[in-house]
Structure 1
Amino acid sequence: MSVRALLLTGGGVAAVLGSIAVAVTIGPADISTGDVWASVGSHLGLGESGLAPLRDGIVWDLRMPRALLAAVCGAGLALCGAVLQSLLRNPLADPFVLGVSSGASTGAVAVVVLGVGGGAVSLPAGAFLGALLSFALVLVLSHSLGGSMDRVVLCGVAAMQLFSALTSFTVLTSADAETTRGVLFWLLGSLTGAGWTQVLTCALALAAALLVCLAHARTLDAFAFGEEAAAGLGVRVARTRLVLLTTTALLTAALVSCTGAIGFVGLVLPHVTRRLTGPGHARLLPVTALAGAVFLVWVDTAARTVLDPQEVPVGVVTSLVGVPAFVAVLLRGRRTA
């Protein structure tokens, strides 16, 4: 790894840790960074925190899991976006291009509104199963149509529209006003109620996906020249495509099942970091993940504090920030083309 890549990665890790530490201090309760480190240290067995139980609970049980889940979710979505944009050779590809988000939304609505599972299936579990169903449908349809990447994208769009329609129909015909409000808030992306179980689940999914994607970094470099060129370089195109599509779909499903649909992270961040690292995926993927983590930590902090005590869905804020940023990236690319 080059010196520049080491500096970018090291700086990204420091920025993530610093962002989490500062974000935890922001909110109605007056918490200092010293309180944060003391609370974390005590729970890791490094001595007593000296904090009152209420302050310790605010740090450890409320704000820290939320900040960590935001970091993990942002890193995962950005990673998936970078992989899919290279794999599909489409700069507009994002983690939801395979219809995973829409399938997760349908699964969540089926559990909350229709009571599917009879109370034995939780909202995250229903969302995850819905996401897997949508992805399986995309794989079956695309395979029956030839399996090319263009067909995968088109089938993903079709699945997205199908499950979005099912979600809307279910909410309109079966949900009362209060349930509709709660479901809508989740569909727009929310980190409310984040807990250590969700953090651990998503972190393990992110770690596994990152290892798989880094192992295929050189293969993704070859895909930049097209599938035929990649095959000529010895890449097993069909197998690699299936592995990476499945990896990104499973990671997105895990994230969406815990947080709802948070858009624009996977679309914008890869374009920004690619300008810093260049096209090589061994450098691009970790830096993009770190940038996504920092971005979503601060977006979530703004979402829960700007209109306090009212909270804004995270997906709304990412769109408000992401659209201008994406337009700026496109305009800059046009000027330098």
Structure 2
Amino acid sequence: MSTAALDVRLPRPARQHPIGLAVVLLLCAVLLALLGLGVGSTGLQSLRALMADPTATAIVWEIRAPRTLGACLTGALLGLAGAIAQGLFRNPLADPFLMGSASGASLGVALCLALLGTTSVAAPWLLRLGLTGAAFLGAMAAVALTLALARGVTHTLRLLLAGVVVGVVLGALTSLITLAVPEVLQAMQAFLLGSTGYLGWPACALMAGVAAPCVVVAWGLSRVLDGLALGEATAQSLGLPLLPLRVALVAIMALATGTAVAQAGLIAFVGLAAPHLVRGAVKTTHAWLLPLATLMGAVLLMAADLLARGALAPQELPVGVVTSILGGSYLLWLMHRRAG
């Protein structure tokens, strides 16, 4: 049965207007932010009661507030990177980690921990670099290696395959390091599982400083993604200089992904699910899809962070585990619905 026949026979849910979806997402973000300030190890608490206690007030503003804002910014960066990846590769299953950034970040963290524990000469500059810097440099190095293997960004399929190969190879190197230095694995656990519990105001400032220009530049390049969705020949016929614009899009995706991974670790499915959910609610061009996917990613990770904090309180789940469970379940349901 053809796709056209399915479109005629199956009822479709009514789609919202992009502005309406943006308003809904903003309201959800505000609500989740307020809940994030009130949820702790003992469950949900009243903000008024918390503000009456100086110690509780310090906990709210020094721990819960940056964590909530950090989850918002991390999800926004991953949602934006996922929308760019799916448009650039013309594949709805593409995610921000396809160019090897996650494996590169993991390798950077593993190398940093191994050298800090075994090499006294390397310790001073490694301490200044920090695990966050090592993760970011590892992610950027993995993207650069992917681009070198793919010989640039001209051939999308070659770029995709190179990213897969780089991810597998760097993941294997990370496993070798953990086998050679077993104590590294325990120290890497928070990074590998993804966590927003260690985010502070400096991390929030850094991510906000990266997210703002990335969103603006990506929105300015949205016409390129619209052209690529129609095919490369059509995009070239529109007079778009594809090579430099693709380089710019890859740079934005790598910067957004590397920054998010360096600060919060490996958080799966947010970058993949956010554009999917937006496209399921509205049918629009990338000029709306990119900012809406950014908002959707922020809302998804804020909700997952609340669930990670409150599901087994006073114990806390890694937020990456929560997103993997929810994201995997969503994709299975989506596949089942389409198969039906």
Same fold (TM over 0.5): yes
Aligned residue in 1 for 2:111? 110
Aligned residue in 2 for 1:260? 265
Distance of 2:149 and 2:101 partners within structure 1 = 14
Of stretches 228-237 and 4-13 in structure 1, the one that deviates more from structure 2 is 4-13
Look up the SS of the partner of 1:119 in the other structure: helix
1:242 maps onto 2:250 in alignment? no
2:296 alignment partner, one of 291, 297, 316: 291
Aligned residue in 2 for 1:42? none
Of stretches 186-195 and 24-33 in structure 1, the one that deviates more from structure 2 is 24-33
1:24 maps onto 2:37 in alignment? yes
**1:35 offset after TM fit, Å?**
5.8
Distance of 1:128 and 1:203 partners within structure 2 = 16
2:185 alignment partner, one of 180, 184, 188: 180
Moved over 4 A (4+): none
Distance of 1:123 and 1:212 partners within structure 2 = 28
- Confirm or deny: 8 A CA contact 2:18 2:284 kept in the other structure: no
Query: For residues 140-289 of structure 1, what are the structure 2 equivalents within 5 Å?
Result: 140-143=148-151, 147-176=154-183, 179-289=184-294
Query: For residues 66-85 of structure 1, what are the structure 2 equivalents within 5 Å?
Result: 66-85=67-86
Distance 1:277 1:108, change over 3 A: same
Distance of 1:4 and 1:89 partners within structure 2 = 24
- Confirm or deny: 8 A CA contact 2:224 2:242 kept in the other structure: no
- Confirm or deny: 8 A CA contact 2:25 2:295 kept in the other structure: yes
1:8 maps onto 2:16 in alignment? no
**1:328 offset after TM fit, Å?**
2.2
Matching residue's letter, 2:63 = L
Distance 1:103 1:130, change over 3 A: same
Distance of 1:194 and 1:35 partners within structure 2 = 24
> Which protein, 1 or 2, shows the higher relative CO under an 8 Å CA cutoff with sep ≥ 6?
2
Distance of 2:33 and 2:179 partners within structure 1 = 38
Spell out, residue by residue over 1:238-289, the C-alpha distance to the aligned partner (whole angstroms, 9 max, x if none). 1111110111101100110011110111111211111212141112111111
Look up the SS of the partner of 2:187 in the other structure: helix
Unaligned runs of 5+ in 1: 37-49
Distance of 2:197 and 2:134 partners within structure 1 = 18
Distance of 1:7 and 1:314 partners within structure 2 = 29
**1:303 offset after TM fit, Å?**
1.4
Aligned residue in 2 for 1:121? 129
TM-score if structure 2 supplies the norm length? 0.88
TM-score if structure 1 supplies the norm length? 0.89
Distance of 1:287 and 1:33 partners within structure 2 = 29
Distance of 2:20 and 2:196 partners within structure 1 = 31
Look up the SS of the partner of 2:37 in the other structure: helix
Matching residue's letter, 2:79 = A
